[in-house]
Amino acid sequence: MSNVEIGYAGIAILLALIALRVPIGVSLIGVSFGGIWILVGGKAAWGSLGIMPWNFTATWQMSSVPMFLLMGFLCYHGGLTRGLFQAARLWMARLPGGLAIAAVLGAAGFAAVTGSSVACAAAMGRIAVPEMMRSRYDASFATGTVAAAGTIGALIPPSILLILYGIIAQVPVGALFMGGVGAGLLTALGYVVMIMIRTTLNPALAPKIDETTTWRERFAALGEVWPVIVLIFGVLGGLFIGLFTPTEAGAVGAAMSLVIALVNRSIGWQGIRASLLETLQTTAALFVIAIGASMLTRFMAFSGAGDSLADFVATLGADPIILLIGIAVVYLILGMFLEPIGAMLLTLPILLPILKEGNFDLLWFGIILAKLLEIGMITPPIGLNVFVIKSVVGNVASTALIFKGILWFMVSDLIVIILLVIFPEIVLWLPSQMK
């Protein structure tokens, strides 16, 4: 077999292992180690296994991952995001589908301090779904709304998905964060419009709430969300004006979260300990997958399979839009079976040469990629957010009903992607204004 054929065989074996439910990190490391051994010998394979984990994880940029995770866990255990849904509910209740809109806006606010779709979905599911059910909302509509709203977590910074993409694709993480703001807000707006259209056409989905709230109550509720506002302006504002780097922003955000929680007296030693332990566990799991992806990149380089695929695409002379549609279909299919970070790290070593050959703007593509991966979070049969919501709401709705409830939101997501392709300035304008 030629080197390129060995590379292609490695990809096939990797996909087979994942289909057999072997953990992605183990599959990536095992196939890459074996492939490098076959291509250049055992000494090089052991050398890669010994050096690459250190080279990848010991970089300055990677330190932002545990810091942003710690920021999110501190906010969760410190209850800093508790008032988001209540404030949105008081302001939006009189609109068609007001509680569902409040869930979307609450998830957007929660995303700005967590960067995790699963965390967004779980938090909003516990708060918003019971409130909607008490107001006689349709169960499928209520649970589907929250499952879809959770996906905003991968777009609005700080997004762990965008951090890892930026490190692997060598795109400035700060610019990716700013690009994600436009896409995240457009996604939230698309969901709000979809909710209003559906509930106007079918009021039975979300009966009107007969509740009178005063302006005093509304502004008082805003006072409960000041921790999130301070964190958003502190972290994103500092990034935008160049006060600190994205890596430093993670540490700043974690420190601010801890100080605010202590000032609020909403966190104790047990909450801090839980935040630290969950940060360590999540970071370790992410790093194993990322190390495997880094080794796969080296394997692809030794074999020449990545360059071979890029050359093949170049000979086809494929239109960039056709190529983008093909990539989108691949990620939508992968999203049915893999969680987003695993799917991204599995494919980037293969896709990056093709993207560079096609002269794609890697910053813009990173946001498109995040959006495609997040659609996978609500795509059957393994839509992770759907199962998170199911575990939270129990017997309120079956898994099938939740999947039914997210279908219209998937339509909204596809419309958002089309708009991001037609108008790339939605993504690129804010990064261009950074200092």
Give residue-wise pLDDT tens across range 73-82: 888 788 777 7
Indicate if the pLDDT at residue 315 is higher than 70.
Answer: no
pLDDT at 222: 72
CA–CA distance, 261 with 264 (Å, rounded to integer): 5
Contact of 241 with 58, CB cutoff 8 Å:
no
For position 194, what pLDDT does the model report? 93
Please, which residues have CB within 8 angstroms of residue 377's CB and are 6 or more apart in sequence? 117, 150, 151, 154, 335, 339, 340, 383, 384, 385
Contact of 60 with 322, CB cutoff 8 Å = no
Contact 154, 181 (CB under 8 A): no
Per-residue confidence (pLDDT) for residue 134, from 0 to 100 = 85
Map out the domains of the chain as residue ranges: 3-432
pLDDT for 389 equals 86
Is residue 282 a contact partner of residue 69, using CB atoms and an 8 Å limit? Answer: yes
Tokens 């495997």 sit at which residue?
Answer: 292
Q: What is the pLDDT of residues 24-49, one digit of tens each?
A: 788 888 888 998 898 888 888 888 88
- Amino acid sitting at position 239: L
pLDDT for the residue 115 = 67
Region 363-374 average pLDDT: 91
> What does the block give as tokens for 266?
């909403």
Which residues neighbour 218 within 8 Å (Cβ) at sequence distance 6 or greater? 87, 90, 91
Q: How far apart are CA 296 and CA 7, in angstroms?
A: 10
269-295 pLDDT, tens digit per residue, is: 888 998 899 888 888 887 887 788 778
| Residue 316: pLDDT over 60 | no
Instruction: Compare 119 and 261 and report the one with higher pLDDT.
Output: 261
Using pLDDT thresholds of 50, 70 and 90, give the confidence band for residue 419. Answer: very high
Sign, Cα dihedral of 405, 160, 29, 310: positive
At residue 45, the pLDDT reads: 87
What pLDDT is stored for residue 312 in this prediction?
64
Cα gap 321→317, rounded to integer Å: 12
pLDDT of residue 28: 84
Lowest-confidence pick of 276-280, 380-384, 417-421: 380-384
Q: What is the pLDDT of residue 191?
A: 94
**What is d(CA 139, CA 399) in angstroms, rounded to the nearest whole number?**
11
Query: What are the backbone angles phi and psi of residue 69, rounded to the nearest 5°?
Result: -65, -45
Residue 317 has pLDDT above 60, yes or no: no
d(CA 139, CA 209): 16
- pLDDT tens, position by position, 1-26: 788 888 888 888 887 887 787 887 88
Cα separation of 365 and 354, whole Å? 12
Task: Give pLDDT tens digits for 292-313.
Answer: 877 887 887 788 776 676 666 6
403-409-414 Cα angle (round to 5):
120
Task: Choose the most confident range, by mean pLDDT, from 81-95, 171-185, 298-312, 388-402.
Answer: 171-185
Tell me what pLDDT residue 44 has: 84
* Per-residue model confidence as pLDDT tens digits over 235-260: 888 888 878 887 788 888 889 889 98
